[in-house]
């Protein structure tokens, strides 16, 4: 490792570069690395050196980079035996190294004084030194899972390693830095992963060796933060930093057991790593200026007590150090950085790998940096400003908490949190106040650029690497370039400046990028060179670039090109309308009982569906809350449900539901953010679609600069995807997973086969269809990516480990797994798509699938092969080369592949070793298959949707703007507040429109999917046909009319054909506007026709009509939008040909006056009469419904409701049975009205149901019983009259007879009622119950009279059969009557034959004598 590099004799440059080599670019074995890399590095250093010294023509090198072949021109490099693949990482690292000082807020690049020979003592680092770094970084803590980390190794040169022993004693490790920013950024729980493990030194699996090497790259010596802290406090921050400190002297003592695992610059936290190191440096540098204060040497040598401020301990780079004892290990400038203590004013955290912003204050008084303040620095600011600095320990605790919280949230990249700075949300506001101007003197000046020609050369080489896809990730490089552009470095003093650019230094030691001037120069050069790539970025990014003052300053022409490019750029992250439906509709075709094996299964699934949604809703509500954990809160419910699945075998049903829901919620681009991302969805909705974009931008701008994640975020499950992942993880049901896998595979392969039509470019409506195909493609692609990710997740779930297994285990596992089939034959899929030129569809989803690989996965033959294939595909996908593949298609693939190569699980050696690539070659079909690749299918929208990380460029630039404007006072554009009333259109209308769109979506929700397909298809076709129709009808007519006009006009003397042409053309264009109206008619006519034919006959009228209308609308809209923007051009074009033809045919052009605009008008008028026949909804089942109820004709259905009448009768009956108060008595009128209501209610069948109806009739009988028994307290007619006068009379005893009279009226009414058909089932037997009769008998004569009257009437009107009465009587006679036997002869009501039988208790019928009618029990 380091020692080995440093041991290189006198070859300073070589040694330097050797250090720089990121170990992942190096061969596998560490031992080998030690022995072999150095020579290799030497060779490469020599190469670069010779280039820089112009010993070799730059162009040759470029050539060589371009063609790795054997052409003669490349002979020069042969003796060097340098592989192109080796040189590229070397170059990249060189640039990183060069710029690392500029990109950090560390001290100014140290003066490399030639008089100070560099440290060259070999360190005695054992092989185990730092061996765990790599592994640790790559494996993340248990909380985050392996996916949370990503690597950006290119910057790995700066991570600081400190001999761990010192660390150990002082602080717990936390955080990681070794891989450069992102890894640490994105893995919140790094600290847990990297436990201080002394034993780690003894393990040397190959992979660890790799890590060792890699770590060596960044093997700079950190200094204990405590010390730094101490010094910062004691020394203040005034010193202008000078030089890079080297923690020389630490090499020897650093390697005590266990140290390796813990040295760390961890305090930087999840937000940044390498940057932390740099910051550390920065902080440390503050105290460096005063050697006098530095602790004695002895302290340092003894143990931890290093003095970072001591130039001798940490000599600037290039200084030789006098005291050998202290220089056993040449450690370099990286210091562990306490989060805050030594940076009393907040500093920007690194984003990604290096921080473009922030510098140390150059003035004596510490000035906080604007960028930092504006962007993210709040925590440190808050921690340190205005309050005593927290101890490092406290900060660590704080960091831990933040990390822990994030880990709990499960989302590895919480966008809402500043990824760079572990920040308490509460502290954030402080940052606002922290914005203070950046120190002056940062303005890069073209005139101060030094080493121009060398920079040009480096830029050329670098650009070649980028253009030729020699770099693993093109966008990572672009990001680096933009970082350079936006870097902030303290002003360099003149002397330093001189020092740096002096030719006296070793060529490779010069600070090419050590000054901001140079950085910007280099960056602008690269941007100019890579303009095509840059110009495909989104509009905002381009705008920010164009407005960047540095770009303007260094290359006005680039600025102009950028400004121009903005116009052609279409990509803006436009929010798609969030549909409100979130459930999977129940479809009888797949979901009803017949689809299940048993009733039990059916009903169980019913419950499962509900539980699934219950869980989903709860997740939505709570998952963002702190401490909420899926497993803890929902685990048992999920598993309970799954176990029921197992018992009923409903897996396939549930798998379908699950996947449909997944697709429903996560398919759209919108789903990338979680639903909560829009804080006020309602407001957005109210503003309507057109204002959405603006508001969204505003919102973005307000929240935007906070999180710069860098262009290589690890794979993530954003938004609702998280729910589905957690659900699967928690359910851990192998049956379910199998069903899901089957289904996903099938769907994926189906999607992969989807045919996308080549857009018709020739005809005018080509644009329209092209747009459709594009949309189709993009929805297919997005869906496939989603499904592939989940297929990958489920497939590799069983093998996921939180840490990379050792090489032995890995090999054993790989061997074991190689025997079974992979879920998807990825190689075959990939080969086939290459052959058929459909890579643009297949590769993106394959990348998603592979991004889910476990650590061992890439070593399985099939995945190894496919990765190799992808790599060779990537290499071939050279953007600048105009191939048959469209640029944006290529760009998308380059972006996703580049991203894949940076994912932690993908072995680093993949890219720069030949292992992978050699074995596989992609066969290209020779046939002229016109596949998707050649179609312009990808647009910027899709590109940004698939690669949201491309938005990082914009963030970076915006952050820079925020910083510089705070200083310069106004680059930020004023934001016009968007109010709801904007733009004239009333809000209501807009929200109404939105509502209509929502309703339409909703309409399809519960309909069979085929309906939607049909409607969309028909609308699409009709819309398209409409345009064609307009061309052959309207446009033809117009042109013909125009031709007539022209000819007529030309005849007349003095006609000017050109004037004539113009005026006719104008008329025709006006006439063309009619197309819109005609199109509407056409669509309204044809759309419904087609729909009627295509939909099944049994479609209900309402559904049919609605479908027709939606079709009409969609088709019209389609035609309308095309026509309104193109009709004029179309007419003009057609007219031009006609005009030319006419003019050619004419012998001599003569001018004439123009008249006859009427003609044109007439042309249109003819067709205007197409009548619009409204198809009325046939009221098919209206009649049916009416028939069911048999109301009398013309029934107004205004009768009282049965329930109301029942309530009323109940009330009356309650009064009758008591208990009641004295005052409660009823009038005849009341009862009369009640009975009237009953009659009405019974006759209107609208609200009538059997049970209430029966009850009602029954109640009338009961009422009759109460009436005849006199139990119902009645008010006398007289009283009744009084009552109407005085509402509350005191009731005196009323004459019974008079009541009786009116009761007869009521009875009559009842009898009439019962006589109706509907009352045939009246339970009249109740009249003859013992209860009734005894009550009647106990009452007065008149009651008896009433009773007889009732019975008589009933019999007379044949409502009651005589036999019936007799039988009731007979039954009654058997009862033990309390008193004298009642003998009744009902002569009036019964016919003679029955009279004889009528005996009650032996009383004889006395020939129907009159007195019987008045008979009365003797003693009642």
Partner 1 sequence: MKLSRAEYKEIVKCTEHLRPTRQCMTILRQRFPNHSQSTLLSIFSLEYQKRTKRTMSRHQAPDSIESYYQRYLSEAKARPSFPVLLELANEVDLSPALMARIIVDRFLQDQEGSVYMTKIGAGARLAHSYIRFVLNNESQGTSLARREEARKRVGGGGCGQASKQVLNNMLREPSLIPDQALANHVYQCTINDCCYGPLVDCIKHAIGQEAEVLLRDKLKERNLSFLDENQLRTKGYDKTPDIILEVPIAVEGHIVHWIESKASFGDDHSHRTYLNEQFWSYWNRFGPGLVIYWHGFIGELDSQRDRGILLKDCFPSDIVTLCHGTSPATTDSLTG
Query: Which residues in 580-609 contact partner 1 (CB under 8 A)?
Result: 580-583, 585-586, 588, 591-594, 602-603, 605-606, 609
Span of 780-788, 991-999, 1160-1168, 1228-1236 interacting with partner 1 by CB under 8 A: 991-999
d(CA 406, CA 141): 12
Q: Which is nearer to partner 1, 594 or 1148 (CB)?
A: 594
Q: SS3 sequence, 218-251?
A: CCECCCCHHHHHHHHHHHCCCCCCCCCCCCCCCC
Residue 482 is classified by DSSP as: H
CB of 1120 to partner 1, least distance (A): 8
Question: Footprint of partner 1 on residues 1180-1219 (CB under 8 A)?
Answer: 1201-1203, 1206-1207, 1210-1211, 1213-1214, 1217-1219
Q: Which is nearer to partner 1, 81 or 1179 (CB)?
A: 1179
**Site residue total, partner 1 (CB under 8 A):** 80
Q: Which is nearer to partner 1, 608 or 842 (CB)?
A: 608
Residue 1165 in contact with partner 1, rule: CB under 8 A: no
Does residue 73 contact residue 56 with C-beta atoms inside 8 Å?
no
SS3 1152: strand
Does residue 953 contact residue 541 with C-beta atoms inside 8 Å?
yes
Residue 81 in contact with partner 1, rule: CB under 8 A: no
Cα distances (angstroms) measured from residue 769 to each of 24, 766, 775, 1196, 1392:
48, 5, 10, 56, 96
Q: Which is nearer to partner 1, 447 or 594 (CB)?
A: 594
Contacting residue, 1102, 1168, 1233, 1305, with partner 1 by CB under 8 A = 1102
Q: Which is nearer to partner 1, 1005 or 1298 (CB)?
A: 1005
d(CA 1327, CA 1375): 16
Q: Which is nearer to partner 1, 998 or 1043 (CB)?
A: 998
Question: Footprint of partner 1 on residues 1038-1097 (CB under 8 A)?
Answer: 1077, 1080-1081, 1083-1084
Contacting residue, 996, 1125, 1321, 1407, with partner 1 by CB under 8 A = 996
Contacting residue, 763, 1010, 1175, 1367, with partner 1 by CB under 8 A = 1175
Contacting residue, 1334, 1340, 1388, 1406, with partner 1 by CB under 8 A = 1334
d(CA 882, CA 861): 33
CB of 746 to partner 1, least distance (A): 25
Residue 433 in contact with partner 1, rule: CB under 8 A: no
Cα distances (angstroms) measured from residue 672 to each of 25, 408, 658, 945:
33, 20, 18, 8
Residue 1370 in contact with partner 1, rule: CB under 8 A: no
CB of 1032 to partner 1, least distance (A): 20
CB of 959 to partner 1, least distance (A): 35
Q: Find where tokens 């379908």 sit.
A: 656
Structure tokens at 1140: 């030319």
Contacts of 1061 (CB under 8 A, 6+ apart): 1046, 1139
Contacting residue, 577, 797, 1142, 1326, with partner 1 by CB under 8 A = 1326
Residue 549 in contact with partner 1, rule: CB under 8 A: no
CB of 444 to partner 1, least distance (A): 51
Span of 158-166, 574-582, 953-961, 1226-1234 interacting with partner 1 by CB under 8 A: 574-582
Residue 614 in contact with partner 1, rule: CB under 8 A: yes
CB of 1295 to partner 1, least distance (A): 24
Question: Footprint of partner 1 on residues 519-548 (CB under 8 A)?
Answer: none
CB of 1173 to partner 1, least distance (A): 10
Does residue 140 contact residue 148 with C-beta atoms inside 8 Å?
yes
Does residue 1410 contact residue 1388 with C-beta atoms inside 8 Å?
no
Contacts of 1096 (CB under 8 A, 6+ apart): none
Contacting residue, 573, 1110, 1272, 1299, with partner 1 by CB under 8 A = 1110
Cβ atoms within 10 Å of 1197's Cβ, excluding its own: 10
Contacting residue, 203, 617, 1040, 1370, with partner 1 by CB under 8 A = 617
Q: For residue 1055, what are the β-bridge partners?
A: 1152
Question: Footprint of partner 1 on residues 1251-1290 (CB under 8 A)?
Answer: 1251-1252, 1255, 1259
Span of 11-19, 770-778, 893-901, 1106-1114 interacting with partner 1 by CB under 8 A: 1106-1114
Residue 680 in contact with partner 1, rule: CB under 8 A: no
Angle at 948 between CA 945 and CA 951, to 5 degrees: 120
Contacting residue, 296, 1249, 1357, 1409, with partner 1 by CB under 8 A = 1249
Q: Which is nearer to partner 1, 64 or 724 (CB)?
A: 724
CB of 584 to partner 1, least distance (A): 8
Does residue 506 contact residue 12 with C-beta atoms inside 8 Å?
yes
The secondary element (H helix, E strand) that includes residue 530 is none
CB of 1086 to partner 1, least distance (A): 11
Does residue 1412 contact residue 1406 with C-beta atoms inside 8 Å?
yes
Contacting residue, 72, 494, 682, 1411, with partner 1 by CB under 8 A = 682
Question: Footprint of partner 1 on residues 876-915 (CB under 8 A)?
Answer: none
Contact code string over 1003-1042 relative to partner 1, x by CB under 8 A: x-xx------------------------------------
SS3 706: helix
d(CA 1050, CA 1063): 13
Q: What is the CA radius of gyration of the chain?
A: 45
d(CA 607, CA 636): 15
On the 0-12 / 13-18 / 19+ scale of CB atoms within 10 A, 48 is buried
Torsion of CA 104, 106, 107, 108, to 10 degrees: 0
Contacting residue, 83, 1247, 1312, 1377, with partner 1 by CB under 8 A = 1247
Instruction: Report CA torsion sign: 349, 354, 357, 360.
Output: positive
Q: Which is nearer to partner 1, 532 or 621 (CB)?
A: 621
SS3 746: helix
CB of 662 to partner 1, least distance (A): 15
Evaluate the omega torsion of the peptide bond into residue 1219 and state whether it is cis, within 30 degrees of 0.
Answer: yes
CB of 1268 to partner 1, least distance (A): 14
Contacting residue, 819, 974, 1144, 1176, with partner 1 by CB under 8 A = 1176
């Amino acid at each position: 490792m380091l020692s080995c590099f440093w041991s290189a004799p006198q070859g300073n440059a070589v040694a330097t570069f050797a250090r720089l080599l990121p170990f992942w670019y190096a061969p596998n074995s560490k031992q080998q690395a030690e022995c072999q890399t150095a020579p290799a590095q030497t060779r490469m250093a020599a190469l670069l050196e010779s280039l820089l010294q112009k010993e070799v023509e730059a162009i040759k090198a470029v050539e060589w980079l371009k063609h790795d072949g054997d052409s003669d021109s490349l002979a020069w490099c042969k003796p060097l035996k340098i592989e192109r693949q080796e040189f590229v990482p070397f170059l990249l690292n060189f640039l990183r190294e060069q710029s690392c000082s500029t990109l950090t807020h560390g001290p100014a690049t140290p003066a490399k004084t030639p008089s100070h020979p560099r440290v060259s003592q070999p360190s005695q680092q054992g092989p185990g030194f730092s061996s765990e770094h790599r592994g640790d970084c790559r494996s993340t803590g248990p909380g985050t899972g392996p996916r949370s980390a990503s690597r950006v190794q290119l910057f790995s040169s700066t991570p600081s390693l400190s001999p761990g022993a010192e660390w150990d004693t002082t602080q717990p490790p936390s955080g990681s830095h070794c891989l450069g920013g992102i890894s640490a950024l994105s893995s919140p729980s790094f600290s847990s992963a990297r436990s201080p493990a002394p034993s780690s030194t003894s393990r040397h699996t190959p992979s660890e060796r790799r890590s060792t090497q890699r770590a060596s790259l960044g093997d700079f010596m950190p200094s204990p933060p405590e010390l730094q802290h101490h010094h910062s406090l004691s020394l203040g921050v005034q010193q202008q930093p000078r030089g890079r400190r080297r923690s020389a002297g630490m090499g020897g003592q650093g390697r005590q057991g266990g140290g390796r695992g813990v040295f760390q610059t961890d305090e930087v936290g999840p937000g940044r790593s390498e940057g932390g190191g740099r910051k550390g440096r920065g902080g440390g540098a503050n105290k460096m200026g005063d050697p006098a204060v530095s602790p004695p040497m002895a302290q340092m040598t003894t143990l931890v007590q290093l003095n970072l401020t001591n130039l001798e301990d940490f000599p600037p780079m290039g200084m030789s150090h006098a005291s050998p004892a202290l220089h056993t290990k040449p450690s370099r400038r990286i210091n562990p950085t306490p989060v805050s203590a030594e940076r009393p004013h907040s500093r920007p955290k690194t984003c990604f790998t290096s921080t473009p912003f922030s510098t140390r204050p150059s003035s004596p008084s510490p000035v906080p940096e604007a960028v930092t303040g504006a962007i993210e620095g709040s925590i440190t600011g808050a921690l340190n400003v205005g309050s005593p600095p927290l101890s490092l320990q406290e900060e660590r605790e704080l960091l831990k908490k933040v990390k822990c919280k994030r880990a709990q949230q499960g989302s590895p990249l919480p966008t809402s949190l500043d990824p760079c700075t572990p920040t308490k949300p509460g502290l954030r506001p402080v940052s606002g106040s922290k914005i203070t101007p950046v120190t002056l003197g940062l303005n890069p000046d073209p005139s101060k650029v030094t080493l121009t020609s060398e920079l040009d050369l480096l830029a050329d080489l670098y650009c070649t690497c980028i253009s030729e896809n020699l770099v693993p990730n093109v966008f990572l490089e672009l990001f680096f370039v933009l970082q350079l552009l936006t870097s902030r470095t303290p002003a360099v003093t003149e002397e330093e400046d001189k020092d740096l650019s002096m030719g006296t230094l070793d060529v490779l030691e010069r600070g090419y990028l050590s000054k901001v001037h140079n950085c910007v120069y280099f960056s602008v050069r690269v941007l100019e060179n890579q303009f095509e790539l840059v110009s495909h970025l989104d509009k905002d990014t381009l705008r920010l670039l164009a407005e960047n003052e540095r770009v303007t300053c260094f290359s006005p022409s680039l600025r102009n090109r950028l400004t121009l490019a903005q116009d052609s750029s279409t990509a803006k992250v436009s929010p798609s309308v969030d549909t409100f439906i979130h459930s999977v509709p129940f479809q009888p075709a797949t979901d009803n009982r017949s689809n299940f094996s048993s009733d039990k299964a059916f009903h169980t699934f019913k419950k499962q569906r509900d539980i699934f949604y219950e869980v989903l809703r709860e997740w939505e509500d709570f998952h963002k809350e702190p401490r909420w954990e899926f497993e803890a809160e929902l685990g048992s419910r999920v598993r309970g449900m799954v176990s029921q699945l197992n018992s009923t075998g409903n897996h396939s049903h549930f798998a379908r539901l699950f996947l449909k829901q997944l697709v429903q919620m996560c398919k759209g681009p919108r789903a990338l953010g979680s639903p909560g991302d829009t804080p006020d969805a309602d407001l957005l909705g109210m503003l309507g679609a057109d204002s959405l974009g603006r508001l969204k931008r505003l919102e973005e701008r307000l929240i935007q600069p906070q999180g710069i994640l860098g262009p290589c975020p690890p794979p993530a499950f954003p938004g609702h995807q998280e729910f589905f992942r957690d659900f699967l993880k928690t359910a851990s049901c192998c049956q379910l997973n199998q069903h899901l896998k089957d289904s996903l595979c099938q769907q994926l392969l189906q999607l992969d086969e989807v045919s996308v039509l080549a857009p018709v470019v020739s005809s005018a409506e080509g644009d329209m269809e092209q747009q459709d195909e594009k949309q189709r493609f993009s929805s297919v692609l997005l869906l496939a990516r989603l499904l592939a990710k989940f297929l990958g997740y489920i497939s590799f779930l069983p093998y996921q480990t939180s840490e990379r297994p050792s090489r032995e285990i890995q090999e054993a596992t790989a061997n074991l797994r190689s025997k079974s089939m992979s879920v998807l034959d990825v190689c075959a899929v990939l080969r086939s798509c290459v052959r058929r030129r459909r890579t643009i569809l297949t590769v993106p989803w394959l990348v998603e699938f592979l991004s889910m690989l476990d650590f061992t996965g890439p070593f399985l033959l099939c995945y190894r092969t496919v990765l190799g294939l992808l790599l060779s595909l990537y290499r071939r996908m050279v953007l600048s080369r105009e191939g048959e593949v469209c640029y944006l298609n290529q760009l998308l693939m380059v972006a996703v592949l580049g991203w894949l190569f940076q994912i932690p699980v993908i072995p680093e050696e993949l890219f720069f070793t030949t292992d992978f690539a050699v074995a596989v070659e992609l066969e290209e079909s020779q046939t002229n298959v016109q596949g998707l690749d050649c179609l312009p299918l990808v647009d910027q929208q899709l590109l940004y949707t698939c690669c949201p990380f491309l938005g990082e460029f914009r963030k970076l630039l915006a952050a820079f703007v925020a910083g510089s404007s705070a200083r310069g006072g106004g680059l930020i554009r004023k934001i016009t507040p968007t109010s709801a009333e904007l733009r004239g259109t009333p809000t209501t209308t807009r929200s109404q429109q939105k509502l209509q769109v929502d309703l339409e979506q909703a309409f399809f929700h519960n309909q069979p999917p085929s309906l939607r397909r049909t409607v969309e298809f028909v609308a699409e076709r009709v819309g398209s046909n409409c345009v064609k129709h307009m061309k052959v009808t309207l446009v033809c007519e117009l042109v013909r009319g125009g031709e007539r006009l022209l000819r007529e006009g030309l005849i007349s003397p003095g006609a000017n054909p050109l004037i004539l042409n113009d005026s006719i053309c104008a008329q025709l264009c006006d006439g063309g506007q009619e197309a819109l109206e005609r199109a509407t008619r056409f669509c309204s006519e044809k759309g419904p026709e087609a729909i009627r034919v295509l939909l099944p006959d049994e479609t209900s009228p309402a559904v049919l009509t609605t479908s027709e209308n939606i079709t009409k609308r969609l088709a019209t809209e389609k035609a309308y939008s095309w026509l309104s923007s193109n009709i004029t051009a179309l007419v003009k074009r057609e007219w031009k040909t006609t005009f030319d033809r006419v003019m050619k045919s004419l012998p001599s052009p003569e001018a004439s006056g123009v008249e006859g605009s009427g003609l044109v008008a007439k042309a249109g008028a003819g067709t205007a009469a197409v009548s619009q026949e409204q198809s009325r909804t046939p009221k098919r089942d209206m009649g049916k419904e009416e028939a069911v109820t048999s109301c009398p004709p013309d029934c107004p259905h205004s009768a009282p409701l049965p329930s109301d009448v029942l309530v009323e009768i109940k009330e009356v009956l309650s009064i009758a049975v008591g208990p009641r108060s004295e005052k409660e008595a009823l009038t005849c009128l009341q009862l009369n009205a009640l009975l009237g209501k009953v009659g009405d209610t019974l006759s209107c069948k609208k609200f009538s149901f059997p049970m209430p109806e029966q009850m009602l009739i029954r109640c009338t009988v009961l009422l009759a019983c109460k009436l005849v028994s006199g139990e119902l307290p009645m008010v006398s007619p007289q009283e009744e009259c009084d009552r109407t006068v005085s509402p509350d009379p005191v009731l005196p005893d009323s004459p019974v007879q008079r009541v009786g009279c009116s009761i007869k009226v009521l009875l009559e009414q009842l009898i009439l009622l019962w006589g109706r058909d509907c009352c045939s089932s009246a339970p009249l037997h109740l009249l003859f119950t013992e209860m009734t009769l005894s009550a009647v008998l106990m009452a007065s004569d008149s009651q008896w009279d009433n009773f007889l009257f009732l019975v008589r009437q009933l019999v007379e009107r044949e409502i009651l059969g005589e036999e019936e009465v007799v039988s009731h009587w007979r039954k009654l006679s058997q009862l033990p009557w309390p008193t004298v036997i009642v003998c009744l002869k009902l002569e009036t009501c019964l016919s003679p034959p029955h009279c004889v039988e009528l005996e009650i208790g032996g009383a004889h019928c006395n020939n129907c004598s009159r007195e019987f009618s008045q008979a009365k029990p003797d003693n009642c």
